[in-house]
Homo-oligomer: A and B are copies of this chain.
Amino acid sequence: MPSAKRKAQRKKPPFPAAADGDRPARQPRQRGVDKRRRLLDAAIEFFARDGFEGASVRQICTRARANVAAVKYYFGDKSGLYRASLDAAAEALIAERPPPVPPAGADPRTMLRLMIRWAVEFTVAGGPRRVALTRIILREMREPTPVFEELLATRGAPMLGEVRGIVLALSHGALPMPAAERLALCVIVCATQYEHSIELLTRLGYPPPQTAAELDLLAEVISGMAIAYVDSRRGGGS
């Protein structure tokens, strides 16, 4: 019997991403790190364009100049690769363009303008790489996969809560509660979901805003609408 049944742990692939920071004296051979990187970049590109099911492992590996087995080796399977892509995309996006910090004691109007300006730039501006990073997140926003849940709890919920708080402070006393809630959601939809209309609007002759001035204008219109609405209910109505 030439090959015994010794099949228990033959290798131990570095699934948990090998924690880029620490390097306990023996580095993970250094050779594969750029291949891992290429795999991740290609994965973000294709997952963003075609979604989790639409993108194929072979496509991704071809673009990354890697063998299909590399996915198993570095990420376990397709889901692991997707999870890593999502994490990488979220981290890169936030790092590149961090959310605005509220100037101490800023009034709600200023805060709202800042938040919306940030959200608008976040979702519609940037080169092809940034668009890919954004689209992979936006896709999760409309069809969340289990992988997204954690990200939602740590990032999404607090941010939504903040906008909600701003709108509520802004409309204090002027609007009945349900109307204020709806207003907050409208603002969020306007600011973040614009991307979903881009194909349609471009086809109809309205390309998305690109320059800083155009982004300013879009953000100004959205925040201006919310503020004017509250003011009109405060001054005129009642």
The residues of A with any CB-CB pair to B shorter than 8 Å are: 53-54, 141-144, 152, 156-157, 160, 178-179, 181-183, 185-186, 188-190, 192-194, 196-201, 203-204, 206, 209, 217-218, 220-222, 224-229, 231-233
Which B residues touch A186, using CB under 8 A?
190, 218, 221-222, 225
Which B residues touch A181, using CB under 8 A?
206
Q: Contact check: which of B204, B221, B228, B231 meets A182 at CB < 8 Å?
A: B221
Bound together, the chains give a CA A178 to CA B204 distance in angstroms of 16
- The listed residue with most B CB atoms (<10 A of its CB), out of A152, A194, A232, is A232
Interface contact B217-A228, CB-CB below 8 Å: no
Q: Contact check: which of B53, B188, B203, B221 meets A183 at CB < 8 Å?
A: B221
Which B residues touch A217, using CB under 8 A?
178-179, 182
Bound together, the chains give a CA A228 to CA B233 distance in angstroms of 9
Which B residues touch A160, using CB under 8 A?
204
- How far apart are A156's CB and chain B's nearest CB, in angstroms? 7
Q: A186-B225, A188-B197, A192-B197 are in contact. List 18 more A-B contacts (CB 8 A).
A: A54-B54, A142-B198, A142-B200, A143-B199, A144-B200, A156-B204, A179-B217, A179-B220, A179-B221, A182-B217, A185-B197, A186-B221, A190-B190, A193-B194, A193-B196, A193-B197, A224-B229, A232-B232
